[in-house]
Amino acid sequence: MRTTIAGLDVHTSHDDLSGRDVLLWHHGSPQTGAILPPVQAAADARGLAVVSVARPAYAFSPRIPGRTVADVAAGLRPVLEALGVASVVSVGASGGGPHALACAAAMPGLVRRVVTFASPAPFDGSDDWFAGMQAPQAIRAAVTGEDARRRFAETDEFDPDSFVDADYAALQGEWASLGADVGASAAYGDDGLIDDDLAFVRPWGFALTDVAASVLLVHGERDRVIPPRHARLLAAGLPNASLELHPSDGHVSVLRHLAASL
């Protein structure tokens, strides 16, 4: 089911979520916010309904210039209240990871657990933050500001070496829908991706210590997009975190552990 709630483009797995425990899916950068089949299957196996919301400037969700990670979480509160959900497992992949954490900080009474896959850590202003990234040019441009990030977008091309063999295998198999959804997101322009990058390198609007819920950080040790050092930084800053590193996985293939993580 697709609808508009509080001005946002919302996808739900069921018509009525009142009183339901839900998996709140925070999509990567860029995507459309659609519910991907492997996400639905993992939720079904655990008796969870699914809610996925396109972040501002993605799909039909209007842009909020200058948004922070915390701003996105604040915008999700009225969506979840309108749906009447009972509890939330907040799950974020890649660029969705910071937003999954933000929801736990903003709604501690509702979010009972967080799981992130290949999430970046808060930007600390150091060059080490970029270490191990195959293609950090876009996020480096974001540090300089919106104008620089937009100029970079004019010539930006995906570096195929950002993914390892396991990532390409995942995109040809169980997670083929993710690649298709990334392709579909291009129809809506670059604003969502640009605003995500800008939000990641400015203050997130909450502290990691504000996240009281238990957090499982899942990361591939071969990740060339967001290196595993970021997971270790998150684990050090979160008060109730567990770190799960997978030696054979990259940025996409680590999602194969979604069902087990729930």
Mean pLDDT by 10 residues, the chain (262 residues): 98 98 98 98 98 98 98 98 98 98 98 98 98 98 98 95 98 98 98 98 98 98 98 98 98 98 96
Q: What is the pLDDT of residue 188?
A: 97
- Which pLDDT does position 227 carry in this prediction? 98
* Cβ proximity of 249 and 218 under 8 Å: no
pLDDT value, residue 234: 98
H or E stretch at 92: strand 87-93
Q: pLDDT value at position 87?
A: 98
Put simply, whether the predicted model's pTM sits higher than 0.85 gets the answer yes
Residue 150: per-residue pLDDT: 98
Write phi, then psi, for 113 (nearest 5 degrees): -160, 150
pLDDT tens-digit map of 95-126: 999 999 999 999 999 999 999 999 999 999 99
- pLDDT at position 182, please? 98
Name the packing angle between helices 146-153 and 191-200 (round to 10°).
140
Q: Among candidates 93, 119, 123, 88, which has minimal Cα distance to 104?
A: 88
Separation CA 185–CA 190 (nearest Å): 9
The mean pLDDT value of the chain amounts to: 98
Q: Quick one: pLDDT at residue 73?
A: 98
Domains of the chain: 2-261 (3.40.50.1820)
CA 231 to chain centre: 14
